[in-house]
Chain A
C-alpha cells in the first residue's frame, strides 16, 4: 500500500474522533490484560492434579473405554434402548451457574461471547431474557439497525475489532479508497477469517470489473477470494475471475471438472464435447479429446451390447453375462471388455480391440497384457498362442513377447490356464533358476526334469524324485535318466 505521508496523516486524523465508543477499554491495554490473563490462567494448572483417568480401561476394540469416539457410540447406542437406559448421575455440584458480574467486561463482548485470549465468560448464565442471545457480527444488516453502535472506526481499528470478534459495521466504508484500505489492513493482519469477511462485503458492493482489477494487484486477497468462491461453489464467478486474470488453463480445468457431477451419460458426453475448445495445454487437450471419444464409444457399445444380451442370441453374453455397464470405465478396462466380448471384430467397428488400440494410441505392452488377460479369461488358448506368433524371414514361427515370460505365466496362471498351456510358457523363461522355481510351483515336472538333465545335476534330479507321483510317467523318466550311463553327470 503506497500512500504519501500527508495522506496518511489525514487518514489517521480523520479517524481519531470516536463519537461513541462501544468498547470502553483502551484496545492496547485490554489486549495486554488478556494475554496476561491467559498466561495466568494457565500456569497454576500444572500443579493441579485432578486427572482421574490414570487407570485406563480398554475395550476389545482396543479403544480406551471412555475415550471420546468410544463414548459417542456408546451413548448413542444407549439412546436407542431408552427403556433400560441407566440414567447418568446428574451432579449438581460441579456445574455452578457462575453468575459473574458483567461490569468487568465490555458490552461488546456480548456479541461475541468471550473476550480474546480464550478466557470464556459465563455471561449467559447471568442473563436470562432473550436479549442475551448472541449475534455474530452481521455484515448485511441495513445501516439503520446499526445506529446504536455505528462508530467511526478507522479501517485498521475495524480490522482489529473483527479479529477480536467484536461487532463492526462495514457499511460506512463507501468510497473505493476506503474499501481498499480496509482490505489492505485485513490482509496485513493475516487473519483469513477477517479477509474473507471484507471480501464478502467488497463482492457485494463493488462491480466485478473493479473488484477483479483491484484483486489483481493484491495476490493474498485474490487467493482468499478464489478460495471463498470455491467454498461457496460459485463456479460462474470463479470462471469469470480466472478469465479476467488470464489464467486460461485454470478456467479449462475448472470447467472440465464439472463433468464429474453430471450423472447422465449423454449429458456428460455433450458436456465433454463442449470442453474440447477450452484452452487446455496441448497435452491435456489431447487427453480431454480422448476422454470424449471414449465416452461416446462406450455409449454406443453399451446400447448395442445390452440389446444383444437381452436378445439372448449371442453366445458370449450367455456364457459370460456382463457384470456391469462399461460406461465411464477407464480406457484399458474398456479395451479389456472389448477383447473379452468383441475380439474377432474387424478393425472397422467401434468395439474392435484393434480399432481402440489405434484410436487411442495404446502402447504395445499395455495392449498385449490386456488382450492376454482377456483371452485367457475366456479360455481362448488359440488366441493366446496367436498373440505371441512371430514369423522370422525363413517363415518359422517363434514365440516373442514384449513382456517377460515370467509375467506371462503369472497372468495365465491367474486366469487358471491348464497345465499344458502353462508348461509351454514356463519353458520359454530364459533364466534357468527362475524357470525351475516356476516349474516347481506349477508342477511342470517335465521342465524341471529336463532342466536338471541339461545342467547335468544328478543330485538335484535325485532330490526331485520324491516330488513326483509314484508310478507316474515322470517317475519313470527320472529313473531312466538316472540310469542312463551316457550322461556325464557333474556330481
Chain B
C-alpha cells in the first residue's frame, strides 16, 4: 500500500514505519478493547500513516467523530481521544467525560495529542474538572508525514497565518523538531541554506538542538547533501497564480485534501444500457492521487495542454495489450496473458478515471475564442490573461477593468482577492489611489466586516499600498527570468511550463543555488525579504560521502508556509533534467493553492471557527 514511498531516491517508508510503530506502542499501552474518538481533522493525515486494519489489530473496535454531548455507547474498556491541542476541543472532551460518569460506566479514558501535548489544554481540562479522569495523556509526534515518494508534509494548515500574521512560531519549532527526526533517520545534513526570517529561525533552532545532543554522534551515512529552507513570504507571487499542471489544476478546481480529491460523479458512472439517468450516483467520487498509480505519476506534472496527448498514447498502448489475446495460441501464451490481466485491468480503470477528470477540467479551462453563453471557460481564460498581464508587468499601476467587472458581478471574493493581491505583489504595493479604490469596492460589495480580512492581507504583505521605495519586481523578474516567452508546454525545456510562461520564483532560487550559486544573484536576494544564509554541520569522520563520478546530489527543499503542486512539478522537472546533477526531495508545512492560502488568511466570525 505504501510501496510508492520507497521507490524514490530517499526511502521515505522508513519514516512512515517509524510513525506506525509509535502508534502501535501507544495503542498497546491502553490494554483491552478500545474505541477511538477522532478529532475529524486528524483522520486525513492519519490516513497517510495507517489503515483501519492496523488499529483493529490492536483491539480498536469502534471509531467515532468527536462531538459534544454524550459518547455513543460501545462495549469497550478504553475510550481514546485523538485530538489536536485546541482549547475548544478540550471543552467537548470535558462534556463527553461528564455525561459518561453519570452513566455508571467503568470505561477508561485516554488522550493522545497530535502532534504535541499542550499545557494550555491540560490546564483547560483541569479547570473543567476532568483532568483526573484520564489514565494516559500522551502525545503523538506527527511532524513530517510522508505524502509521496519525494514529498513530506506536516499538514499544518495554519502555519503561514501563524508565522506571518500572528507572529506565532510554534509551527517553526515543530518544523525544526521534524527535521531533527529526519536527520536521526537519514543522517546529518551537512549543508544548510536558507532565505527568510523563518528559515533563519528554523536553522538556528536546529543548530541549537544539535548542540544539545552533542556527544551523541549520528553514525548514519547522510542521505541528503543539502537542506534548503525557504520562507513562503520570499515568494508571495507563485501561489497566487493559477497552476496549469494536471495535478495543479485538479487542486485549483476541486481541491486535493490529504491526497484525496472529491469529484462530481456524473462522468464516472459506468453507463449500462437501459439505465435511466436517475440511477446515477449523486455522491461525489473520491479518488486517491499519488505515484502508486503508474499513469498518474506519468501525467500529473505535465502542463494540462500536454495531458490529452499522453492519455491517448496510453490508450493505444493499453488497447494493443488487450488485443494481444488474439495472438495467444499456446497454453503457455494464454497463461501469460491471463497473468497480466489484473495489471492491465488496473491500467484501464486508471485510464478511464483520468480521461474523465481531464474532461471535467477541459470543460472549465477550454480555450475559447468567442463562445457563448458567457461560461466558466471564458472566465477561466480571461482570468488567466489578467494574471499573465500582471506577471509580465503590464498596467499593474492602474485599476484593472476585469477585476472591477468581476466585483460588479459579485464573483467569489477569494477570486477577487487573489487577483488584487497578485497585482499588488507584481507592483511592489499598489498606488494609494488604486489601493483605496479596490478596498472600497470590495467592502461595499462583500460587506464591511471584510475590513478585517483586508487588514490581514496587508499585514502579510500581500495587499499593501506602495511606499516610497520603487517597484523592484521588474528587476527581479528580469534577473531571475521569471517570464519566458514561448514556453514549451508539450516538451518543456524550462520550469516555466508549469504556469505556461511564468517560472516560479521559489524554484528559480532553488535552481540558481544548485548552479551557479547564490553569489550570482546577491542583488536580487537583497530585494527579497529576510536574510539569506549558509550553515555547515560537522560530520563525524568516516561519514563523508565519496561521490562517484556523475552521481547526483540530493537536496531537501523545505517550504515554510506551504508549497503548490506546480512548484513541486517544477522541482521534479529539475530532478529529471539530465544535466542537473541534483535530485530534489520536497518538504512543506502544507500543500496549498491560492484559494486555500487566501482562505487561511481571512478573518471569519468567531462563531464559525471550528
Contact = CB atoms under 8 A, between A and B. Distances in A.
Interface string A221-248: 0011011101111000000000000000
A273 B167 CA distance: 31
A41 B21 contact: yes
Q: Secondary structure of the A side of the interface?
A: helix
Interface in B16-48: 17-18, 21-22, 25-26, 28-33, 38, 40, 43-44, 46-47
Contacts of B54: 53
Contacts of A91: 57, 59
A97 B31 contact: yes
A62 B259 CA distance: 12
A68 B441 contact: no
Given A53-B1, A61-B286, A68-B46, A256 B213 contact: no
A288 B216 contact: no
Interface string A330-373: 11100000000000000000000000000011110110011000
Interface stretch (B369-377, B538-546, B569-577): B369-377
Interface stretch (B128-136, B297-305, B415-423): B128-136
Contact of B18 (A32, A42, A56): A42
Interface string B120-133: 10110010000110
B65 A76 contact: yes
Given A42-B21, A60-B281, A228 B120 contact: yes
A294 B137 CA distance: 51
Given A60-B281, A72-B64, A124-B29, A28 B408 contact: no
B61 A190 contact: no
Contact of A134 (B25, B30, B135, B215): B135
A42 B25 contact: no
B31 A95 contact: yes
Given A134-B136, A192-B168, A98 B28 contact: yes
Contact of A441 (B283, B373, B439): B373
A67 B51 contact: yes
Contact of B28 (A95, A118, A370): A95
A231 B168 CA distance: 12
A70 interface: yes
Interface string A111-125: 001100011111011
Q: Name the residue in A120, A125, A224 with the highest tally of chain B Cβ atoms < 10 Å from its Cβ.
A: A120
Given A72-B38, A113-B138, A125-B31, A79 B444 contact: no
A223 B286 contact: no
A290 B374 CA distance: 34
A60 B283 contact: yes
B451 A113 contact: no
Nearest to B349: A58
Interface stretch (B310-318, B320-328, B330-338, B601-609): B601-609
B53 interface: yes
Contact of B213 (A32, A138, A193): A32
Given A79-B72, A365-B408, A122 B28 contact: yes
Nearest to A362: B444
A257 B63 contact: no
A133 interface: yes
A170 to B, nearest CB: 11
A438 to B, nearest CB: 7
A136 B2 contact: no
A71 interface: yes
A51 B1 contact: yes
Interface stretch (B111-119, B486-494, B527-535, B550-558): B111-119
A261 B445 contact: no
A366 B441 contact: yes
A223 B138 contact: no
A256 B605 CA distance: 11
A377 interface: no
B455 interface: yes
A118 B136 contact: no
Interface stretch (B169-177, B472-480, B499-507, B560-568): B169-177
A451 interface: no
Contact of B285 (A62, A67, A90, A434): A62
A340 to B, nearest CB: 15
Contacts of A362: 444
Contact of B168 (A75, A133, A138, A224): A224
A369 B401 CA distance: 14
A248 to B, nearest CB: 13
A306 B172 CA distance: 54
B74 A193 contact: no
Nearest to A87: B61
A46 B18 CA distance: 9
Contact of A332 (B57, B136, B445, B451): B445
B2 A63 contact: no
Nearest to B353: A62
- Interface size on A, as a range, is 35 or more
A129 interface: no
Contacts, number: 279
Given A64-B51, A67-B47, A256 B56 contact: no
A71 B213 CA distance: 41
Interface residues of B, number: 113
A200 B123 CA distance: 10
A79 B47 CA distance: 22
A32 B216 contact: yes
B341 interface: no
B73 interface: yes
A260 interface: yes
B52 interface: yes
Contact of B135 (A124, A197, A233): A124
A135 interface: yes
Given A193-B117, A407-B405, A94 B2 contact: no
Contacts of A438: 372
B169 A220 contact: yes
B47 A68 contact: yes
Contact of B205 (A125, A190, A233): A190
Given A68-B43, A330-B446, A134 B134 contact: yes
A363 B399 CA distance: 13
A52 interface: yes
Contacts of A328: 447
A200 to B, nearest CB: 7
Interface in B338-384: 370, 372-374
B288 A64 contact: yes
Contacts of B3: 54
Interface string A437-479: 1100100000000000000000000000000000000000000
Contact of A39 (B46, B168, B185): B185
Contact of B444 (A119, A120, A366, A410): A366
Contacts of B170: 192
B454 to A, nearest CB: 9
Given A330-B445, A330-B447, A53 B607 contact: no
B1 A257 contact: no
Contacts of B176: 190
Contact of B87 (A64, A67, A75, A232): A232
A260 B449 contact: yes
A68 B448 contact: no
Nearest to B134: A134
Contacts of B17: 42, 45-46, 48
Contacts of B33: 90
Given A45-B14, A51-B2, 12 more contacts: A42-B185, A53-B1, A63-B288, A67-B47, A76-B72, A96-B28, A196-B120, A197-B120, A257-B606, A288-B451, A330-B445, A410-B374
Q: Lowest 9 CB-CB distances: which A-B pairs, in order?
A: A62-B286, A291-B448, A71-B52, A260-B605, A192-B170, A45-B17, A136-B122, A69-B43, A330-B447
27 contacts: A42-B18, A56-B1, A60-B281, A61-B283, A61-B284, A62-B285, A69-B43, A72-B43, A72-B64, A75-B62, A79-B62, A79-B73, A88-B61, A95-B58, A124-B135, A133-B132, A134-B136, A136-B137, A194-B119, A200-B119, A226-B167, A253-B451, A259-B449, A287-B448, A328-B447, A332-B410, A366-B441
